A and B are shown apart, each in its own frame.
Chain A
């Protein structure tokens, strides 16, 4: 019986002209977003590769100069584009993609793409993720709200139940039918997604873990859409009229999609307040003044360092200059590690609050899992920043120990920056809270639907 009901519900939905129109619009938007996102990813990949090559040439051809002058000349490294940003750009527009590596100073990734964009940025991006997170749930709501409440209003629910149909069969049959219609809609979405992802020119998406990440992302979205379907049917089963079911579900959608992300961010900021830039700058400046600076011969730290290395005859060791620069770098690194690390910890703590806000609004759990798996979240950005900083330290160490050498031979000793993004297991561990929240929502939605089916009233 359940399957007969499911088949009928599937056919009714599929034959509904409104469903076809709405589905066509959503598919068209998804198609546009896939194509343009692929173009953008290809474009960004190409420009960053070219910039990396140019920068390497600049470094190698800088001519003969003192090794420390070369350390001040520095190098720029560019963040590679995450292939899965085809689906979810996440934080990419709001974090820098270029890091300047130089002596004595750890710089943050600079040049936020959002700073180089129009005022429309505040309305959000049309990405495949946005379509699946915001528009598809709305489509589910619009086709599920009247499924049971509408039948009750028109009296057909009473007729069906009087024929001996079990309420649970009816409810789950309808759920299966709607899920089938939705699945039919998701087939072209998946095909479009695979096409967009697999064909990114210049990116080998077959050999890395990207496909596994993609599969997990698909699971996260299925969990989310399944939960929305279960909630919509539950409301339709319990609401007295289809009108009230629609009102409740639209309020739920608005809270989940429009209000929750902003409110959760405010809550995160309130629970883990961020210091002001001027305060951070002042603290950094003070800490750097206290630290040993190889360019400041009159500082107390320098005098102490000299005294420490003077031997009994008052002479300094022959490699004193190298020791000084190494110690100066070590102390400066500690200062930056402490201050930037503190800010990064705060940002991650804030993101954690937003993720757990997913217990109140499932979209927050989904977003957290989606950006983590796509490699466009803050944890991935931090990973890149740390890798860039490690490269800087290696670069400075190499120059400090150059023993007077200079020129191309020395510059070639610095290997090019090759960034290896976090492994799948690291990404999954970051995505896990979001995925857990989505599982809870789906389980809760199914339990609520079961409960609603037992309380299904014909009028």
Chain B
């Protein structure tokens, strides 16, 4: 009987024209999402390659120049290293086709210039229409987070409610079938094609990354699907008609996918408002103006603290002066910048703590984390760029003060940026905790469904 119900449901579904139409639409949405993700990944990869090519060319030009007998490159002055941009590049994400995440919004490369280390510069990413950013991307993560539940619910909204409405539920249950078993098998059979297609598309997106990331992505799809299937079973166990079940599930989708994430974002922004960028810019300019006025006084105290860096004539040139001023600006602006970073971090931590209010948030966070386009990888990049800036300063500033040019012997010590990916255990831990949360919510919803399907309660609702 158990497998019989399952196969019967599959057979009945195969005869529904609407089911085929829905599946075709879902395949179309998955295919389109895959194509969009693939195109964006290709664009980002090309941009990264172009930037890297430029950087390698620069490095080899420096090397070639220094290899010439008696050649050196000054730090300051025309043609000096002080105004050269050293590339810090975030490598392409491991599974970019799966989710766009922040990759179309947050820049993945930065040119670090010695003389601009404390200048507030706007980050530049690829040219995107702001309206496009506002609308969001039709990528695989969008299809899996937003549309996958809708398609699933289209198949699952009438598991029992319609039978209750027409009176066939009494007839079916009089055959001695367990209502829970009957409902679960019907749900499983009806969800199977949609879940299979979602898994296939996910597997395709992760075809280059056959391993932990792909396994995690597949687990996300299965568990997210399980949550929506459980919710459909629970709503069906109490709804009086198919229309009421559809309306309730539709409302749940709106609440979980649209309203809860927007509310959480609003709450995080209101609790920990990000300090203003204009204020940061103005503060940095003020510090820069003050440092410029201090001028000689600043350089004198600097050489008192660092006598080893003082040039032979004890008179700082333009570049040494500017670098000292820059150091002073950085010191003054550091608290404002730290406050900025901390508030942003607190916002994201609030999102992390409260993400369980909506399984859609958990799913989207998990998919972007797995794809390598999420908040934490970009945050790690920003952190490493900050360290790289410090390395650049530590390496070139003493040379600028001592007026020592760059020579061939320095070439191996020159700081270069190499992004260190976070350990697998770190992202896996975040994803696993998220999935455990969805499973716990599903268990609660399942418990409610079991409670509603107890014979006494079911008897009351079947009439």
Contact = CB atoms under 8 A, between A and B. Distances in A.
A24 interface: no
A262 B250 contact: no
Interface string A205-243: 000000000000000000000000000000000000011
Interface string A93-119: 111111000000001111111111111
B242 A275 contact: no
A269 interface: yes
Contacts of A410: none
A391 to B, nearest CB: 16
Contacts, number: 223
Given A47-B279, A51-B276, A76-B281, A115 B123 contact: yes
A76 B281 CA distance: 8
A2 interface: no
Interface in B240-290: 242-243, 246-247, 250-251, 254, 258-259, 261-266, 268-270, 273-274, 276-279, 281-283, 285-286, 289
Contact of B121 (A110, A134, A138): A110
Interface stretch (B69-77, B132-140, B228-236, B436-444): B132-140
Given A76-B285, A274-B128, A135 B278 contact: no
Contact of B247 (A118, A246, A275): A246
Given A62-B289, A269-B129, A354-B131, A250 B250 contact: yes
Interface residues of A, number: 87
A278 B132 contact: no
Most buried by B among A22, A43, A51: A51
B126 interface: yes
B347 interface: yes
A252 to B, nearest CB: 12
Interface in A258-278: 258-259, 261-266, 268-269, 274-278
A117 B269 contact: yes
B122 A261 contact: no
Contacts of A337: none
Contacts of B36: 266
Given A55-B282, A61-B289, A115-B123, A125 B266 contact: yes
A126 B263 CA distance: 6
Contacts of A32: 263, 266
By secondary structure, the A interface counts as helix
A246 B127 contact: no
A355 to B, nearest CB: 10
Interface stretch (A188-196, A313-321, A343-351, A439-447): A343-351
A111 to B, nearest CB: 4
A94 B127 CA distance: 12
A64 B147 CA distance: 62
B47 A277 contact: yes
A98 to B, nearest CB: 6
A126 B247 CA distance: 22
A44 B276 contact: yes
A276 B126 contact: yes
Interface stretch (B2-10, B361-369, B405-413, B414-422): B361-369
Most buried by B among A54, A90, A116, A134: A116
A51 B254 CA distance: 40
Contact of A78 (B273, B278, B344, B360): B278
Nearest to B264: A120
A340 B261 CA distance: 36
Contact of B134 (A94, A118, A250): A94
B64 interface: no
Given A51-B279, A91-B130, A58 B285 contact: yes
Interface string B336-353: 000010001001100100
A122 interface: yes
Interface residues of B, number: 77
Contacts of A351: 129, 131
Given A119-B375, A123-B361, A343 B127 contact: yes
A46 to B, nearest CB: 9
Contact of B246 (A39, A44, A126, A247): A247
Contact of B262 (A63, A123, A243): A123
Interface in B32-76: 36, 43, 46-47, 50-51
A404 interface: no
Contacts of B125: 277
B124 interface: yes
A8 interface: no
Interface in B129-173: 129-138, 142, 146-147, 150
A142 interface: yes
B192 interface: no
A145 B202 CA distance: 36
Contacts of A120: 261-262, 264-265, 268, 351, 361
Contacts of A123: 258, 261-262, 265, 360-361, 364
Contacts of A57: 286
Contacts of B147: 258
Contact of A118 (B133, B250, B265): B265
A274 B282 contact: no
A16 interface: no
B49 to A, nearest CB: 10
B242 A124 contact: no
Contacts of A121: 105, 265
A145 B247 CA distance: 11
B106 interface: yes
Given A50-B279, A116-B274, A350-B132, 8 more contacts: A78-B278, A120-B262, A125-B262, A135-B254, A243-B242, A258-B146, A269-B132, A274-B127
Interface of B: 36, 43, 46-47, 50-51, 101-102, 105-107, 121-138, 142, 146-147, 150, 242-243, 246-247, 250-251, 254, 258-259, 261-266, 268-270, 273-274, 276-279, 281-283, 285-286, 289, 292-293, 340, 344, 347-348, 351, 360-361, 364-365, 368, 374-375
